[in-house]
């Protein structure tokens, strides 16, 4: 009987702790144009349509949209991504700026003080189809370069070498698939996890940003020469 009572007490103590172990800072499903209240775009044609956020200008090379979100400690970034247009020239880029301070209010290469996780599709440059992941450090409107803590040189990480991306998945008829993105980063240590889009509930890939990342107050999406749509954006602080 004492054991049962102990377990019941423990349950009532531990369950609330579990419930409050995460704080959702932003949860946006882009259900209406009002969803963009509080966001601002510095370049690109951003709009909410059919319950998703679209950037429709395939010619814009610095499309970016920003929203206030305080980030510190361990952060979880989640959203889904879908191709729309612009890949016909075999070039496209997409990324997220995290931990942004002093964000840009004008069309710019950089975005305040921040880190940019960037995915490039450019087989003409890299020699074969596949997406390449890079991390940039922004220090202002025009000052941005590869994050030297993890990239002493200039070579990107080949996404195709990290994840099981089959050649048949790279055909245009599959580009309308919805891709779930899930990234967790401990800003205090720089350690992170990129969850496998093919099976995010079971597999993830560890990475290290070379050390602590300075907290920030804003988050941005950006695109280069491509139109994509986004939905189910959730940014969570893990306590």
Which domains, ranges and CATH numbers included, belong to the chain? Answer: 24-238 (2.60.120.200)
By CB atoms closer than 10 A (0-12, 13-18, 19+), residue 138 is buried
51: left (phi over 0), alpha (psi -120 to 50) or beta: left
Instruction: Give dist(CA 131, CA 112) in Å, integer.
Output: 26
Half-sphere exposure (Cβ direction) of 65: Cα atoms closer than 13 Å: 22
Computed on alpha carbons and rounded to an integer, the radius of gyration of the chain in Å comes to 19
pLDDT, tens only, 88-127: 888 899 999 999 999 999 999 999 999 999 988 887 877 7
Q: Quick check: pTM over 0.95?
A: no
Instruction: Give dist(CA 130, CA 118) in Å, integer.
Output: 14
Instruction: Give dist(CA 103, CA 13) in Å, integer.
Output: 41
Query: Cα torsion for 97, 69, 43, 49, to the nearest 10°?
Result: 110
Alpha helices in 50-184, H assignment, sequence order:
123-126, 159-162
What confidence score (pLDDT) does residue 171 get?
54
What percent of the chain clears pLDDT 90, i.e. is strictly above it?
62
The token pair that represents 118 in the structure block: 């960037």
- Sign of the alpha-carbon dihedral angle for 83, 110, 114, 91: positive
Distance of CA 146 to the CA centre of its chain: 17
- Confidence grade of residue 196 (pLDDT, cut at 50, 70, 90): confident
What confidence score (pLDDT) does residue 173 get?
55
pLDDT, tens only, 29-57: 999 999 999 999 999 999 999 999 999 99
Q: What is the 3-state secondary structure (H, E, C) of 182-222?
A: EEEEECCCCEEEEECCCCCCCCEEEEECCCCCCCEEEEEEE
Instruction: Give dist(CA 149, CA 126) in Å, integer.
Output: 23
The better pLDDT of the pair 148, 62 is held by 62
Looking at every residue in the chain, the average pLDDT score rounds to 84
Quick check: 11 pLDDT over 70?
A: no
Mean pLDDT of 207-232: 96
What confidence score (pLDDT) does residue 2 get?
42
């Amino acid at each position: 009987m004492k054991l049962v009572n102990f377990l019941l007490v423990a349950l009532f103590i531990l369950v609330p702790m579990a419930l409050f172990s995460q704080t959702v800072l932003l949860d946006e499903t882009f259900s209406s144009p009002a969803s963009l209240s509080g966001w601002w775009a510095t370049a690109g044609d951003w709009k909410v349509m059919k319950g998703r956020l679209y950037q429709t200008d395939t010619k814009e090379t610095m499309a970016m949209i920003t929203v206030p979100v305080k980030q510190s400690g361990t952060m979880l970034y989640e959203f889904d991504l879908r191709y729309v247009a612009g890949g016909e020239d075999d070039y496209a880029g997409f990324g997220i700026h995290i931990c942004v301070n002093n964000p840009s209010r004008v069309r710019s290469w950089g975005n305040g003080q921040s880190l940019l996780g960037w995915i490039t599709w450019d087989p003409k440059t890299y020699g074969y189809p596949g997406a390449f992941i890079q991390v940039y450090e922004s220090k202002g409107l025009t000052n941005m370069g590869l994050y030297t803590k993890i990239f002493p040189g200039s070579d990107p990480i080949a996404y195709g070498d990290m994840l099981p991306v089959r050649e048949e998945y790279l055909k245009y008829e599959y580009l309308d698939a919805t891709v779930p993105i899930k990234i967790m980063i401990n800003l205090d240590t720089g350690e992170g996890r990129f969850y496998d889009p093919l099976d995010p509930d079971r597999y993830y890939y560890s990475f290290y940003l070379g050390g602590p990342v300075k907290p920030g107050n804003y988050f941005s999406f950006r695109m280069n020469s491509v139109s994509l749509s986004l939905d189910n954006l959730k940014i969570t602080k893990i306590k």
